[in-house]
Amino acid sequence: MPRFHDLRRNAMLTFAAPPLAFWSDQQYRALPRLDPLLPDTSLPSLSIIIPARNEAANLLRLLPALQRVRYPGPLEIIVVDDDSSDLTGPVARAYGARVLRLTRLPAGWSGKTHACHAGASVSMGDWLLFIDADIDLSPDGPARAVAHARRHELDGLSLFLCQECRNPLEQVAMAAAHAGLFATIHPTQNVLNGQFILLHRETYFDSGGFAAVCDQPQEDLALGHHLATLGFTTPVLNGDDVGSVHMYNDTVALAKGMARFGAQTPRWTGWRAIPTFILVTALMSPLVTLVGVLLGQFDRRWLPATWLAATIAGLPWMQRFGSSALAPAIPFGALAIQLAAVWGITNRALGRGLSWKGRRV
């Protein structure tokens, strides 16, 4: 049975959640946004590259959106069909995309790094935009990104897109995960978000691009670190007015995604993730208090006090993820994140990896 002092210490940790969540929220709000697109802007050529493994359903939403893109310059859309067993290739061709079919994954590569690099290798654009198939883009989003990068003399940039959640579990889990992510000290330092990565062609090939991080399952964080080490400037911006993403189709996919993220992210954030660990644990602590009350080791008044602290901490993040009414459920989201992270770390330590899109990563 847990000792009283252990339970009390965990319960007290809940009161660290509101200030840490406030700081996390402020770091998110401080992210810069893309500049507006000026009238009569002319831009260099752009290649939009979409790595796609069994993404026919998502492409039915993304490709019509890309047909509505207003880009004042040459534009090509490349769908890299990564040995799909569904209609990814035919759907892409039906919408006029250029399709590159891959049938073999070389040793030492992850599926996504190989698909992205293959797409870049056949592209023609002066700028390369790598996007996931599960996103949706505004018509002027790609143009704003290229114009912003050129205006600020950047080697590239990446965007955090608006997150779509379709059920309460996904909402509370994603809210807890993002609160924790932005509690990291310098959360955008040396990182990219793989949902939307824009790089100048010379930057990509001079750095080695995804080939330089070909074996990394968290390829976006690895590439961001690699580019920063080489001295390239590729900031991460707030892109919730540029596009949206729905990452997970079901609870199993959500669990695998959180496990993958939890197992790999500490490698790239290191000690800077200490506030992340504290915040997610603090958000989960009311459940520890509940255990203490049920075991008769806590005064019942601890339960509403700790739950209120977690609710206050989760409120801005639950508002961002669709429902402030779900803020009292944030401890369950934090618990889901913790369990998924432990699962991912354990599988990594045992050398088993995780199953992702039919492959071990």
Burial of 276 (0-12, 13-18, 19+ CB in 10 A): buried
Question: Is the domain of 72 the same as that of 19?
Answer: no
Question: Is the domain of 152 the same as that of 271?
Answer: no
Using the predicted structure, report yes or no on whether residue 359 has a pLDDT greater than 70.
no
The model's pLDDT over 249-262, given as tens digits with 9 standing for 90+, comes to 777 878 777 777 77
Using the predicted structure, report yes or no on whether residue 62 has a pLDDT greater than 60.
yes
Question: What's the Cα-to-Cα distance from 285 to each of 6, 41, 96, 334, rounded to whole Å?
Answer: 12, 52, 51, 9
The model's pLDDT over 10-36, given as tens digits with 9 standing for 90+, comes to 667 888 999 999 999 999 999 999 999
What local confidence, expressed as pLDDT, does residue 9 receive?
A: 62
Dihedral of alpha carbons 49, 181, 240, 310, sign? positive
Domain, as residue range, for 197: 31-250
The answer to whether residues 349 and 262 touch, using CB atoms and an 8 Å cutoff, is no
Question: Is the domain of 245 the same as that of 305?
Answer: no
Torsion, Cα of 186, 320, 169, 189 (10° steps): -10
The answer to whether residues 59 and 88 touch, using CB atoms and an 8 Å cutoff, is yes
More confident residue, 292 or 45: 45
The model's pLDDT over 81-106, given as tens digits with 9 standing for 90+, comes to 999 999 999 999 999 999 999 999 99
b/e per residue, 174-188, with b = 16+ CB within 10 A? bbbbbbbbbbbeebb
Question: Is the domain of 23 the same as that of 93?
Answer: no
Q: Specify if 238 maps to a domain.
A: yes
- Both tokens of 201, joined, read 């062609």
Using the predicted structure, report yes or no on whether residue 361 has a pLDDT greater than 70.
no
The model's pLDDT over 47-61, given as tens digits with 9 standing for 90+, comes to 999 999 999 999 999
How many domains, in total, are found in the chain?
2
Distance of CA 358 to the CA centre of its chain: 20
Question: Is the domain of 73 the same as that of 179?
Answer: yes
Mean pLDDT of 139-165: 96
Question: Is the domain of 196 the same as that of 295?
Answer: no
Question: Is the domain of 48 the same as that of 157?
Answer: yes
Strand, helix or coil for residue 49:
strand
Question: Is the domain of 88 the same as that of 205?
Answer: yes
Mean pLDDT of 187-213: 95
| Strands ordered across the beta sheet of 243-245 | 135-137, 243-245, 162-163
Mean predicted lDDT score pLDDT of the chain: 90
Question: Is the domain of 326 the same as that of 278?
Answer: yes
160 sits in the region (left: phi over 0; alpha: psi -120 to 50; else beta) called beta
Question: Is the domain of 334 the same as that of 191?
Answer: no
Q: Specify if 357 maps to a domain.
A: no
Please tell me whether the overall predicted TM-score, pTM, comes out greater than 0.85 for this model: yes
Say how far apart CA 361 and CA 355 lie, in whole Å. Answer: 6
CATH at residue 38: 3.90.550.10
Q: In the block, which residue shows the tokens 């290191």?
A: 270
Q: Specify if 359 maps to a domain.
A: no
The answer to whether residues 129 and 47 touch, using CB atoms and an 8 Å cutoff, is yes
What local confidence, expressed as pLDDT, does residue 31 receive?
A: 95
The model's pLDDT over 320-330, given as tens digits with 9 standing for 90+, comes to 987 889 999 99
For the chain, how far is it from start to end, CA to CA, in angstroms?
37
The model's pLDDT over 68-83, given as tens digits with 9 standing for 90+, comes to 999 999 999 999 999 9
